[in-house]
Amino acid sequence: MKTHAAVLWGRNQDWRIEEIDLDPPQAQEVLVKWMAAGLCHSDEHIRSSDMGSPEEVRQAAGLPPLFPVIGGHEGGGIVVEVGPGVRNLQPGDHVAASFFPVCDHCKMCITGHTNLCDLGAATFAVGQISDGTSRHHLNGQDLNFMAKVGTFAEYSVVHEASLVKVEADLPMSVVALVSCGVTTGWGSAVYRAEVRPGETTVVVGIGGVGINAVQGARMAGARNIMAVDPVEFKQKAALDFGATHTAGSMAEALPIVADLTRGAMADSVILTPGVMYGDLMAEALSLTGKGGTCVVTAVAPQTQKECSINLFELAMWQKEVRGVVFGAGNPRFDIPNLLALYKAGRLKLDELITRTYRLDQINQGYQDMLDGLNIRGVISFE
């Protein structure tokens, strides 16, 4: 079949809307009609070289090129057709994309770390999870697709391990956001920072992930929630989502947090800037108190191998630095659970969406994100 998709042909290029050929689903694969896709920063990381191995590194390692690639890893859609052996989905089911697939039998899955499923190793590989061959083509050339879901397309063929069934009455834009950014931010606070009632939490970077770390800290019962972002619009938004205080920088936040805690500093600091660099660690750990936890959620360039840490304070104050992906959540549990909290009025999701775009407005949507005009932008295919 023919369908349209936003394709990236190389680093620092614009997205191009292409008419592509899509093969039918094979074993354990599903044809999905995407109804909404989130403009997550991770796809911009691919475009700007912050994520994914440089092409010369891939070439030296004998790996196929990353480009051309269909973008998009946040999505809400409807199952159109299922291939042989699909067990848990059928045509008509509403689904959320899961940028980390869940196989249910690798070591990580069976030990409760489904966000680290071994199938995730294929995130930037070419071809389907099932057999490594491609279903997406353009003029006879195979196309890669982001995180094995490719939600910047009207239709995509996806392995059932990368889909989570959701209730049919949920808005597709909301489903799309929970498939990555909401869960990553919320889980960074609730699961990885382990925020407890009465604690002080600092969230650095109030974008699509950070705003939901604020929500997670609020729902976990934090007494003080400091939201740090240089954009005033985002500071104001953070207050609407549960922040108690705001600052334009970590340096500005430092005396405020010291005053709020009588010098004890924060129990947890969650780093969700647009791009993570090593020099941010020193300030973040200065905000972290004794026995506190600094959670690094944001994506750093793969070549970033150094960071500034006061090693004396790290040991003598018994601080802890933790990495996290997908908020340490379980897609099959946390996506439906967060959507249930939304339906119960406990989690704000509609309010996250600043603007909705058509697929052919994708470049404008990402420019708005980079310019600090959006909390979240969403592509609607409806």
pLDDT band at 382, cuts 50/70/90?
confident
Same structural domain, 18 and 133: yes
Q: In this predicted model, what pLDDT tens digit does every residue of 305-362 receive, in sequence order?
A: 899 999 999 999 999 999 999 999 999 999 999 999 999 999 999 999 999 999 999 9
- The chain-wide mean pLDDT, for the chain, equals 95
Contacts of 308 (CB under 8 A, 6+ apart): 278, 279, 281, 282
Specify if 254 maps to a domain: yes
354 and 263 within one domain: no
The CATH number given to whatever domain includes residue 306 is: 3.40.50.720
Q: What is the pLDDT of residues 255-290, one digit of tens each?
A: 999 999 999 999 999 999 999 999 999 999 999 999
pTM value? 0.95
Domain edge (last residue) among 282, 309, 324: 324
CA-based nearest residue to 75, from 36, 127, 133: 36
Same domain for 173 and 70, yes or no, is yes
On whether residue 332 sits in a domain, the answer given is: no
- Which domain range does residue 119 map to? 2-179+349-380
* 325 CB-near residues (< 8 Å, 6+ apart): 100, 115, 116, 184
- What digits encode the pLDDT tens for the residues 67-122? 999 999 999 999 999 999 999 999 999 999 999 899 999 999 999 999 999 988 87
- Domain containing residue 115: CATH number: 3.90.180.10
Q: How many domains does the chain have?
A: 2
Q: Convert the pLDDT of each residue in 27-81 to its tens digit.
A: 999 999 999 999 999 999 889 877 766 666 666 666 778 899 999 999 999 999 9
Nearest to 33 by CA among 4, 12, 13, 60: 4
Is position 155 within any domain?
yes
Whether 162 and 72 map to the same domain: the answer is yes
* pLDDT computed for residue 61 by the predictor: 65
- Please check whether residues 113 and 72 belong to one and the same domain: yes
- In terms of domains, do 216 and 141 share one? no
Question: Both 206 and 157 in a single domain?
Answer: no
Looking at the domain assignment, is residue 340 inside a domain?
Answer: no
Give yes or no: residues 6 and 135 share one domain.
yes
